[in-house]
Structure 1
Amino acid sequence: MNHPELRIYVAGHRGLVGSAIVRTLRARGQATIVTRTHAELELTDQAAVRAFFRTERIDQVYLAAARVGGIHANSTYPAEFIYDNLMVQSNVVHEAWRAGVKRLLFLGSSCIYPRLAQQPIREDYLMDGALEPTNEPYAVAKIAGIKLCESYNRQYGTDFRSVMPTNLYGPGDNYHPQNSHVIPALVRRFHDAKAGGAGEVVIWGSGKPMREFMYVDDMAAASVHVMNLAPDAYAASTEPMHSHINVGTGLDVSIHDLAHLVRDIVGFEGRIAFDASKPDGTPRKLLDVSKLRALGWSASTPLREGLRRAYAAFLAAQVANVAA
């Protein structure tokens, strides 16, 4: 449903998810989208966040701002990953409540679930076992975000919702050689290897772990869908805790097969070697998305097509960077 009169704040609008949410809202005719860059609004600064909400008269918030990264980044900067995410979430949720924001959507991560959770992972498996050590600080912060929304709903009667996306990729991704997630890391390595005429690309881990991947514009569409659900429909789907909803495709692929698929799309003709001395992370991570499907939404972008679009966006960004 289109509500052009609403003032919607997208926190983290320059990131992978936030930029996709902005694209989706604009495509649906949402006229008043409020954004702030990191330089304009430091979300770890409570006074600055309070002043923002006091003056901007926000109706809805998409909380997509977060410090994110892959295994290497999480292992190298655990303090930043837990501190920054806790502070951003706490400030935005609390000040949104103080300002009377009607509805908020918190975007978490599937890493909130136990490392050895039964597959596919249902929402009620949360806090039912030990987390994956390589990203535990980030996961703890995201669990705290869910509990923030739950707690404010219980105590103050707010309508703060949470969605837990699977692994995302697409336009606006971070292609840093060390600090990126698996798909952008693979795209960057194969692209650089092709450009440099390398004969081999080495991939961290055994290639055996199974992962689920969703094209980010599908995630954005799901987020808008969940945000616009009637309160009764959302509450009924998340009973008894008025908690969170998984967002994924319901399909997974091995890192081995993913690497070969990305290699084919990039056009690298060399060998792939897997370095089993490096950590694999969680053995398998597939979300149960039956709640989301029951609410009338399913992903629509096949993995190969999504990867093709992602690589095209990467190439366009490379050209733009050279031109700049």
Structure 2
Amino acid sequence: MDKKSRIYIAGHRGMVGSSIKRKLESSGYTNLVCKTHDELDLTDQQAVNNFFETERPEYVFLAAAKVGGILANSTYPAEFIYENLMIEANVINASNVYGVKKLLFLGSSCIYPKLAPQPMKEEYLLTGELESTNEAYAIAKIAGIRLCKHYNQQYGTNFMSVMPTNLYGQNDNFNLETSHVMPALIRKFHEAKINDKSEIVLWGTGSPRREFLHVDDMADACIHLMENYDASDIDEFVNIGVGKDITIHELAELIGDIVGYEGEIVYDTSKPDGTPQKLLDVGRMDGLGWEAKISLRDGIMQTYEWYTGKKESKIISQ
């Protein structure tokens, strides 16, 4: 890519897409194409084809997706598999038809088997059963990876896939019914603090281990790949993470410390834990000259400041 390349960011208002947009703009890219869902429904094949025919993007960041945590994935599996399959198929196919030079598809670490060896290497894909609570989403993301792979094989396209670990940061989803664990905990601890609650109840046992990557690091990694590598350099797809994890209990204590909550943490063990551990092997990405820079504490502090600032600005505007 050069600074005047026509770059389409699908999902530019989401957490990852907005971070990619900020990073590109700060790096001097001046020809970005962005459409809201109201302007372009990516599940509508004809609308997507019309958009690509008119706009003719040279590069595509496919960050648009329907996402959510355990509760959302368990409650709405049909929507998760359908909408994500449609978005991926429409954008990837149109990118081939209308001559996109390079596409980067964002997957998810949930593509790996529930009991995959840790840390998870790229070659573990499709070697075991998926975690049942997010199977629909995982299958859709696996389909996206394979779409890129087979379009490359059949049409000679340059479509690469990246598998981020658990992401968090600015523009995350803090809705407790649909959010992932990090924003859910930040919100729960913040509300427990301002409401002077003596205890906070969390799902599961607190023992599962998770890896967390700040979204600005993710954006930096994506742009690094798009600027410097082709799909053939990463052998189907590449993990993006920090290479170390933390228990949910340790995460809760860290967030409680950052927020300043002094009550008791109680675990509802009747609720599911999800996958016991999710840690990515990031050796392949290390070999491509990139590693994460934002520490977990610094990243959570930054996210909490953004979250509370956003809430305060809403109160002021009302």
Report the TM range for the smaller structure's normalisation. over 0.9
Q: Please, which of 285, 288, 291 is the counterpart of residue 278 of structure 2?
A: 285
Give 1:229 shift: 2.1
User: What does residue 317 of structure 1 align with?
Assistant: 310
Report the counterpart of residue 263 of structure 2 in structure 1.
270
C-alpha distance in 2 between matches for 1:62 and 1:48: 18
Distance 2:33 2:91 in 1: 14
Deviation at 1:236, TM superposition (A): 3.6
Match of 1:158 in 2: 157
- For residues 117 and 141 of structure 1, what CA distance do their matches in structure 2 show? 19
Runs of 4+ residues over 6 Å off in structure 1: none
Question: Does 2:5 match 1:6?
Answer: yes
1:34 deviates by: 0.6
1:36 match: 35
In the alignment, the residues of structure 2 paired with residue 306 and residue 215 of structure 1 have an alpha-carbon distance, to the nearest angstrom, of 6
Report the Cα offset of residue 87 of structure 1: 0.2
Tell me, what secondary structure is at the counterpart of 1:207?
Answer: coil
SS at match of 1:194: helix
Which residue in the other structure is 1:299 paired with?
292
Matched, 1:244 2:241: no
Task: Report SS of the residue matched to 1:228.
Answer: helix
**CA–CA distance in structure 1, aligned partners of residues 34 and 286 of structure 2:** 30
Report SS of the residue matched to 2:228. coil
Mapped to 2, the partners of 1:160 and 1:39 lie a distance apart of: 26
Aligned counterparts, 1:126-141, within 5 A: 126-141=125-140
Q: Distance in 2 between matches of 1:105 and 1:314?
A: 28
After TM superposition, the structure 1 stretch with the greater mean CA deviation from structure 2, 137-146 or 268-277, is 268-277
In structure 2, runs of 5+ residues without a counterpart are none
CA distance in 2, matches of 1:237, 1:54: 29
Residue deviations 1:32-76 (CA, integer Å, cap 9, x gap): 111000000000000100010000020000000000000000001
RMSD: 0.8
The CA distance in 2 between the partners of 1:321 and 1:111, in whole Å, is 34
Q: What residue number does 1:83 align with?
A: 82
Q: Secondary structure at the match of 1:138?
A: helix
Distance of 2:130 and 2:229 partners within structure 1: 33
1:200 alignment counterpart: 199
Give CA-to-partner distance per residue, 1:88-124, whole Å, 9 cap, x none: 0000000111110100000000000000000100000
Shift of 1:228: 1.5
> In the TM superposition, what whole-angstrom CA distance separates every residue of 1:13-34 from its partner, at most 9, and x where no partner exists?
1101001100111111011111
Aligned-pair distance for 1:3?
1.3
TM-score by length of 2: 0.98
Distance 1:210 1:100 in 2: 42
Shift of 1:230: 3.4
TM-score (normalised: structure 1): 0.97
Provide the rounded CA distance (Å) in 2 between the counterparts of 1:237 and 1:149. 12
Q: Deviation of residue 237 (structure 1)?
A: 3.4
**2:61 corresponds to which residue?**
62
* Pairs within 5 Å for 1:192-231: 192-231=191-230
In structure 2, C-alpha distance between the alignment counterparts of 1:177 and 1:297, rounded to whole Å: 33
Which residue does 2:46 correspond to in 1? 47
- 1:252 maps to amino acid: D
Identity %: 56
- What amino acid sits opposite 1:247 in the alignment? I
1:315 Cα offset (Å): 0.9
